[in-house]
Amino acid sequence: MSFLPSIYYRTPSLRSAPKISQTLSPLFDLLQSRYLLQIKYLFTDKTGTLTENTMFFRQCSVDGVKYVSTDGEIQQLNEDNNNKELAVSPWPVSVTALEDFLVTLALCHTVQVTSKSKAKGEVTVTSGDTMCMVDLSHRYQASSPDEKALVEACASFGVVFEGQHKDTLVLTVQGHNRRYTRLQVLDFDSAAPLCTADRKCMSVVVREDWSGRLWLLTKGAESSVLRRCRAGLRTLAVGRRELSDHQYQLFATQLSEARMMMEGREEAVRKVMDQMETELTLLGATGVEDLLQEGVQETLESLRVAGIKVWVLTGDKVETAVNIAYSCGHFKRFMTVLSLTGLQDVEHAAARLQQCTQESQAEGNYGLVVDGSSLQVLLDNLKDDFYSVCSRCIAVVCCRMSPKQKAETVRLVKKSKERPVCAAIGDGANDVSMIQEAHVGLGVMGKEGRQAVRCADFAFAQFRFLKKLLLVHGHWYYVRVSTLVQYSFYKNVTFITPQLFYAIWNAFSTQVRGVKKSGVMVTELYAVLGSPRLFI
């Protein structure tokens, strides 16, 4: 019953899938097909699932000045003249803040230089006072698309990451080589599926070879970086701190001891990292754009019409997630969007939750936005009331979430009184816990590896294939299962009824007559008359 439908499912998806996804079967677990038409809640990641996960550097803010990327060149926005773009090429060396910002981005990463291609033009370096933009002549390989986009942007703006040899990092700034020794790398912790920490940033410790100065360079989500910085601009996500030899040796010793602990290792390492990433000097903020996938808006609208509630669970900040929700049609302009953000304690959360409950009781269409810190307070103390508000909303967006919180959110809905069938879809390692927690796990073969795909029940190339999986194949599987149930029931009735009447004439003994003949007759008749329906 499952062989022919599975073959039919494979062909259209592979024929329409990008080349990168044709190396993997689009269907894993046929036993989960019985849930497809019963799904009531869909939990989806944003980056790489609803979007292409193809990042483009668009703008940055450094020392209170906004810069934009236009045709591979950096240009300054003149806010006094209606944000008219002013070219900053050649780029004055006196703008040390911009140079420090780009150097920090060019050093704080784990990008590898895989090859060097021929440059389209020659690198032009003027003498002394100014420097011009350079053509990108390197190919970079990174585990994160946004890291690659930032390094490529720095290279196009004149700060080129040449690569590394062992622990030595080489940059080209103003046509001159600079060498740095990388001493420590404090990775992002939110990429781990079961990680409980919430740093959402990464840092490197480097030493300038020509001066011997030590620097701690940090980048990450502004909610994480800002609380580690001293007073400065309001919306910055890149910072640095100069370290003395004594400070670094102390931190390195503590970090080494924490990493060798047998018990409580992750917590000890996190505490040492938090101690290192303090008193940072703010440098600037970056703006990276990610494009929506094809067919996302139509797919979300079809799922909504089918009665499936969609929750977007993302690690992005509130503003970005809400903008994407509107652009993809998850939030509608006619919706009343409720907000549960910035909740610090139980009393504040209870009061705000009561207000949202009263607002959602009136007739209308409602959406909900909640951030990670508020969600943790609600899950720990007001779980039932929070789910009651969510159940009245057509669309829900949860922002700044860790992988553990994604799984807890799925578990909240799955263990509710209604016991609805839940599905989760994602493309990265941080979605694995959410996918495994749901009844039906869906993986998208994207640019963040195959961890999500390997843990999922179904896998395909893009989010738009979800529409056909649930609404077409889910319906067909439901028809086949119902046909099989009817076949089993009526076959047993037809098979047992003659034996019951025959038992009256044989004094209810164990003697049987015609059992094999009647069984074969019923099976063959149903195979001839009813089997075509099994393969609809």
CB neighbour burial string for 187-217, b if at least 16 within 10 angstroms, e if fewer: ebbbbbbebebbbbbbbbbbbeeeeeebbbb
**Binding site for Mg(2+), residues?**
45, 47, 427, 431
Higher pLDDT pick, 307 / 496 = 307
| Omega before residue 90 within 30° of 0, cis | yes
- Residue 358 in any domain: the answer is yes
DSSP secondary structure string for all residues of 333-356: TTSEEEEE-S--SHHHHHHHHHHH
- Residue 414 in any domain: the answer is yes
In the set 45, 290, 371, 457, the catalytic residue is 45
Residue 416 has pLDDT above 70, yes or no: yes
Average pLDDT of the segment spanning 208-213? 92
Assess whether 460 and 484 both reside in one domain: no
Residue 438 has pLDDT above 60, yes or no: yes
Higher pLDDT pick, 244 / 198 = 244
**What gap in Å lies between CA 458 and CA 42, rounded to an integer?**
14
In terms of phi and psi (left: phi > 0; alpha: psi -120 to 50; beta: otherwise), the region of 456 is beta
- Residue 184 in any domain: the answer is yes
CB of 341 closer than 8 Å to CB of 369: yes
CB of 392 closer than 8 Å to CB of 364: no
Higher pLDDT pick, 495 / 352 = 352
Assess whether 201 and 326 both reside in one domain: no
Domain stop point among 473, 493, 511: 473
CA distances in angstroms from 195 to 21, 71, 285, 319, 388, listed in the order given: 28, 39, 26, 25, 28
Single-letter amino acid, residue 293: Q
Assess whether 353 and 232 both reside in one domain: no
What is the per-residue pLDDT across 388-398, written as a single tens digit (0 to 9) for each?
999 999 999 99
Q: How far is CA 352 from the centre of its chain?
A: 28
Assess whether 404 and 506 both reside in one domain: no
**Binding site, residues?**
45-47, 147, 188, 219, 234, 314-316, 400, 406, 427, 430-431
Residue 403 has pLDDT above 60, yes or no: yes
In the predicted model, what is the mean pLDDT of the chain?
Answer: 79
CB of 440 closer than 8 Å to CB of 458: yes
Residue 328 token pair: 């993809």
How many CB atoms neighbour CB 110 within 10 A? 14
**Binding site for ATP, residues?**
45-47, 147, 188, 219, 234, 314-316, 400, 406, 430-431
The yes-or-no answer on residue 146 being catalytic is: no
Residue 51 has pLDDT above 70, yes or no: yes
Assess whether 336 and 436 both reside in one domain: yes
Residue 261 has pLDDT above 80, yes or no: yes
Residue 19 has pLDDT above 80, yes or no: no
Average pLDDT of the segment spanning 134-140? 63
Q: Residue 397: what pLDDT?
A: 94
Residue 292 has pLDDT above 70, yes or no: yes
Least confident of 21-35, 39-53, 486-500: 21-35
Residue 14 has pLDDT above 50, yes or no: no
Q: Residue 285: what pLDDT?
A: 83
Assess whether 427 and 503 both reside in one domain: no
Residue 6 has pLDDT above 60, yes or no: no
Domain CATH for 148? 3.40.1110.10
Domain CATH for 306? 3.40.50.1000
Residue 316 has pLDDT above 90, yes or no: no
Residue 517 has pLDDT above 80, yes or no: no
What is the per-residue pLDDT across 63-121, written as a single tens digit (0 to 9) for each?
878 888 877 778 887 665 555 555 554 454 446 788 899 999 999 988 888 765 544 44
* Residue 498 phi, psi dihedral angles, 5° rounding: -60, -35
Assess whether 311 and 421 both reside in one domain: yes
Contacts of 3 (CB under 8 A, 6+ apart): none
Assess whether 467 and 482 both reside in one domain: no
Contacts of 31 (CB under 8 A, 6+ apart): none
Domain stop point among 428, 451, 473: 473
Assess whether 353 and 227 both reside in one domain: no
- Residue 273 in any domain: the answer is no
Higher pLDDT pick, 64 / 403 = 403
Single-letter amino acid, residue 138: H
Residue 284 has pLDDT above 90, yes or no: no
Number of domains making up the chain: 3
Higher pLDDT pick, 500 / 168 = 168
Residue 196 has pLDDT above 90, yes or no: no
CA distances in angstroms from 415 to 109, 372, 379, 422, 438, listed in the order given: 40, 20, 13, 10, 11
Assess whether 228 and 315 both reside in one domain: no
- Residue 430 in any domain: the answer is yes
- Residue 179 in any domain: the answer is yes
Assess whether 458 and 495 both reside in one domain: no
Assess whether 495 and 415 both reside in one domain: no
Q: Residue 514: what pLDDT?
A: 57
Rounded to a whole number, what is the distance in angstroms from the first to the last CA of the chain?
10
> What is the band of 49 on the pLDDT scale with cuts at 50, 70, 90?
confident
> Containing domain of residue 351, as a range?
30-50+293-473
- Residue 266 in any domain: the answer is no
- Residue 257 in any domain: the answer is no
Average pLDDT of the segment spanning 362-378? 90
Domain stop point among 473, 505, 523: 473
